[in-house]
Every structure is written in structure tokens, then in C-alpha cells.
Structure 1
Amino acid sequence: MRKFIAVALIAGTAATPALAQDVNPTFTGPRIEATLGYDHVGAGSSVSNNNGRDDQKIDGLLYGGGIGYDFAAGGVVLGVEGEITGSTAKSDRQPYTTDFGFGRVSAGRDLYAGARAGILASPNTMIYVKGGYTNAKLNVLAGNTTTTTDTGFKLDGWRAGAGVERAVGGNSFAKLEYRYSNYNDARITYPSGATSGRFDIDTDRHQLVASYGIRF
């Protein structure tokens, strides 16, 4: 009996490190984070610039936050996540143009829901890829001013990205991430609350962001 107990203890001790590696507690569980970075919205590859000006894009500062939940699946970390961000990107005061496809606009809120998968590069560093659905809003600016109206465009599309996450002590972490979004479907929302029918678009979005968060 004593020999059986001893063998069981030795086997359990040997299995513990492997189990801990599989569970990967540093990068698992619920999380919340704040995000800040660079935001670029522009005409897609199917849109040509015929007016000689590079006004088919808007650039600005992205800000917002997100939540997520990660769990271990063997040697891989899988997760689901959601995010809401805003942006300072907007058209300048050049004469009105429709070459961007939306006229004079400013970036509104951006909603994202998706999943990610990561592997450990070190005990405290994870490399991951992500993808999912994104819904963005562009607010229409009035004429040559920068005053927004109650009219806007709502864009539907998909997002893909990759990043590096680093545990920085305690339950906190930091991330650096690039993501690309493509919007191919849109509708107009009017001040009355009415919406137009859906129509096809080709709009790209590039973002380079840094995030800081806490796991619970």
C-alpha cells in the first residue's frame, strides 16, 4: 500500500508542471483593457483617385476599451472579445468632394466582436492572431465646416489582426496590435431615425494600437 501511495505521489508531481503549462493561468480568464493608437480610414483598392489630391482618407487618434475572456486548449490560448472605440479622424476643410465615397465625414464609434488564438513565445509573452465582425459609423460634416449633423453612415465588415501580449506584473498586461478592417456594406441613417437601403462600398481601415489591461 505504501509503495502504491509513493508511486501515485511521484506520478502526480511529475504531471503537475505539464498541467500548469497547459492551463497557462497568466493568459487565461476574464480581462478588461483600455486602448489608444493610430487610426486610418480610406478608400479601398477598387476606388481610384482622379482629382489629384490625397483626400480619400481620414487619419486620427483611436481611443476606447474592450473586454474579453481567454481559456487554454492544450498548448494554445483561445479567447472571445468585444471592443468599442472612437476616433478623432475626420475630413479637413477642403472643398466638398465625393471621391472618398462618403463626402465630408468624421469617424464615429466602432464596434467589434471576435475571437483570437495565441501561443506562448515565453512564459510571460503571447503572440496571437484575431478576427471577427466590425460595425463602424461615419458622421456627416456640414458643408465646408467640421460640424457634425445627425446624418451618418453605418458600415458593416470584417476585421483581422495580430499582436503581442506581455504580462507586466500582478494581473496586469500590455499589448501591441495591428488590425485591418474592410467594410463592404453600408446604409445611411437620417435625423428622423429612418435608414436607407443597404448598398455596396469598399472602405479599408488600418489601426496600430497599444492596450493596457487587468485580468480578474
Structure 2
Amino acid sequence: MAHRDGALTGCHMWSTQGVYEVKSLQLILIAAGIAGATPALAQDAAPVQDTGGAQIDPTFTGPRVEGFGGVDFQKYDFNPSPAGADRKHTGGVAGALGGFDIGFRNLVLGVYGSYALPTSNSCDNSAAAIGRCVRPEREIEAGGRIGFKGGDSFFGNRVMLYAKGGYVNTSVKVQSGLNGGGVYNTHRLIGGWRAGAGAEYAVTENAYVKVEYDYTRTGRFSLEPYGFADTDYRQSKNQVLAGFGVRF
């Protein structure tokens, strides 16, 4: 009987120990499986956004508003051109712009309109000079542009290069000095065209900075109503601009 009890006790002890061993083995296998799966899950997971914004992916599309300013190099051109009648002047320009862009893969097509106030003007102290003072008062521009997004190229996905073209309407104040005395003051609206090129850099997905070069040439208008027979006038200008904009 004692022998039987001993056998039963030994059997019970072996059974309990075996259960512990099986459970321990299962835990080891589960832990090993988790450890093996972790790298795979880490590889499949999306990369974490860099809090510094290094991984932003701007589209350069949608509605936008922008403020800009820069340097304005103007030339006032008279025809015929008596001595000293051609004038050049450097001033500033500042304005605001609104636009809308759509994208096609790496291309961006857009339209825009802007309002700007130039400060450049030209004056001649001689009362007999043609176009004694010429002062541009405001510019309204409407046009379109085509851009190329850098993507995986040398420029990177934060840069877009673009070319633009549009119509410009300029309000000009002209003080005309007549031969023999007298001055005519008049405000004229002059239409013209503008072409330019620039680059945008995305600071965030919705904000950008830009640099731009523009060339503008207006049509001619006659000064004959102001006492100058067979004389006309027009402007040409170069502008270098910088701006900051926000997309919505």
C-alpha cells in the first residue's frame, strides 16, 4: 500500500512538473514569436512625421494669397526723344496677390491677380522738358503661370520653378511742361504686358516664400493733347520681388 501511495505521489509530482514545463515552453515560444514579429511590424508601419517638418509634401495647388515687395527699375521713353527726355529711375514696389493653382503630376497651372503701388518716378526741373514729371500711381495685373515641381529631382519636393505672363494696367500722373511756360497735369491709364519667372519654396505644406523677376512694357499714348505735336510716351521696367504666401 505504501508502495502504491509512493507511486501515486511520484506520478502526481511528475504531472505537476510537466505542466509547469509545458507552460514555460509555451511562454518562451510566445515571447520568441513577439520578438520576431516586432521588426516586421516596424518595417510595415508608416514613418513618423518629423516634428521639424522635414518630411512635408507640398502640392503647390489650391487657392492662395500673398504679399510681396521689391525693387522697381523704370524707364520712361518718349518719341521723338529730345536731349534728356529719356529717363530712368529706381524705386520700390509693394502689393498683394490672390491666385488659384491646379496640378498635373509635376506640372502646376495657375491664374492670379494683383494690386501694387510703385514709388519710382522721374522729374525734370526744366519747365520746357517733355514729361516734366511722370509718377506711376498703381498697377493692376491679371495673368497665368506654369510651374514645375521639383519632386525627386535635384531641387527637391519643396521647390517649384515657374514662368508667368499677364496684362498690366497702370495709372500714371503726368506733369507736362510746355515750351514757353505752362504745365499740364493729367492722369492716364496705360495698358501693357508683363512676363516673368520665379521660384517658390514651401516653408510648410500651406505656407511659402518666393523670389521673382518681372519685365513690363506698356503701350504708348500721345502727348499731343497736352501741347506736344507728334509726341508719344511709354514705360518699360524691371522688377525684382520677394514674397510670402499662404495656401488654403
Q: Tell me the TM-score normalized by structure 1.
A: 0.71
Q: Which has the higher strand share?
A: 1
Of the candidates 75, 80, 103, which is equivalent to residue 42 of structure 1?
Answer: 75
Q: Per-residue deviation at 1:133?
A: 0.5
Deviations 1:61-105 (A, max 9, x none): 10111000001023210000000000111224532421xxx4312
Q: Per-residue deviation at 1:120?
A: 1.7
Q: Per-residue deviation at 1:115?
A: 0.2
Instruction: Tell me the number of residue pairs that the alignment of Structure 1 and Structure 2 aligns.
Output: 174
Of the candidates 193, 202, 208, which is equivalent to residue 167 of structure 1?
Answer: 202
**Kindly tell me: are residues 62 and 131 of structure 1, through their superposed partners in 2, closer, same or farther at Cα, counting changes over 3 Å?**
same
Q: CA–CA distance in 2 between the matches of 1:167 and 1:89?
A: 31
Of the candidates 80, 83, 87, which is equivalent to residue 118 of structure 2?
Answer: 87
**Kindly tell me: are residues 128 and 48 of structure 1, through their superposed partners in 2, closer, same or farther at Cα, counting changes over 3 Å?**
farther
Q: How much is the aligned-residue C-alpha RMSD, in angstroms? A: 2.8
**Kindly tell me: are residues 67 and 177 of structure 1, through their superposed partners in 2, closer, same or farther at Cα, counting changes over 3 Å?**
same
**Kindly tell me: are residues 82 and 186 of structure 1, through their superposed partners in 2, closer, same or farther at Cα, counting changes over 3 Å?**
farther
Q: 1:115 aligns to what?
A: 144
**Kindly tell me: are residues 206 and 48 of structure 1, through their superposed partners in 2, closer, same or farther at Cα, counting changes over 3 Å?**
farther
- Paired letter, 1:70: D
**Kindly tell me: are residues 187 and 26 of structure 1, through their superposed partners in 2, closer, same or farther at Cα, counting changes over 3 Å?**
farther
Q: CA–CA distance in 2 between the matches of 1:167 and 1:214?
A: 10
Q: 1:184 aligns to what?
A: 219
Q: CA–CA distance in 2 between the matches of 1:49 and 1:128?
A: 37
**Kindly tell me: are residues 150 and 66 of structure 1, through their superposed partners in 2, closer, same or farther at Cα, counting changes over 3 Å?**
farther
Q: Per-residue deviation at 1:25?
A: 4.8
Quick check: 2:112–2:143 contact (8 Å CA) kept in 1?
A: yes
Q: Secondary structure at the match of 1:71?
A: strand
Q: Per-residue deviation at 1:142?
A: 8.0
Deviations 1:89-130 (A, max 9, x none): 1224532421xxx43121110010000001023200000000
Structure 1: which 5+ residue stretches go unaligned?
1-23, 144-148, 191-198
Quick check: 1:81–1:115 contact (8 Å CA) kept in 2?
A: yes
Of the candidates 142, 145, 162, which is equivalent to residue 128 of structure 1?
Answer: 162
Q: Tell me the TM-score normalized by structure 2.
A: 0.62
Larger Rg: 2
Q: 2:105 aligns to what?
A: 74
Q: CA–CA distance in 2 between the matches of 1:54 and 1:184?
A: 18
Is the aligned partner of 1:64 residue 2:114?
no
Q: Secondary structure at the match of 1:89?
A: coil
